[in-house]
């Protein structure tokens, strides 16, 4: 669910050119996932937790920094081609 929230923020920015409006409803992830299918193996223990309000705010800020300001994490590895990837 954490990755899904981050991805949703990035996709929203990609489509509309702006970040989704930051609101309490956006960061209240229990409301977002209340009616959504929860994709996880049935026998998975423990279950994947939903992002907390603070997690959602943090993920939103990451998406905003990357989408709006082009910030690239230092841990990002850039590959020019598939051959570069296969060498590592």
**Tens of pLDDT, residues 27-37:** 887 777 776 66
Rounded to whole angstroms, the Cα distance separating 19 from 53 reads 17
C-beta atoms surrounding 75 within 10 Å: 5
Instruction: Report the range of poorest mean pLDDT among 10-19, 53-62, 77-86.
Output: 77-86
Rounded to whole angstroms, the Cα distance separating 67 from 70 reads 6
Write the CA distances from 41 to 17, 35, 38, 46, 48, integer angstroms: 35, 18, 9, 11, 10
**Tens of pLDDT, residues 41-75:** 666 666 677 888 999 999 999 999 999 998 887 77
For residues 60 and 87, the model is more confident at 60
Residue 88 has pLDDT above 60, yes or no: no
């Amino acid at each position: 669910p954490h990755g899904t929230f981050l991805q949703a923020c990035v996709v929203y920015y990609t489509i509309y050119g702006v970040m989704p409006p930051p609101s309490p409803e956006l960061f209240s992830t229990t409301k977002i996932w209340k009616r959504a299918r929860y994709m996880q193996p049935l026998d998975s223990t423990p279950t994947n937790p939903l992002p907390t309000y603070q997690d959602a705010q943090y993920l939103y800020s990451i998406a905003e920094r990357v989408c709006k300001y082009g910030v690239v994490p230092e841990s990002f590895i850039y590959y020019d081609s598939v051959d570069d990837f296969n060498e590592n």
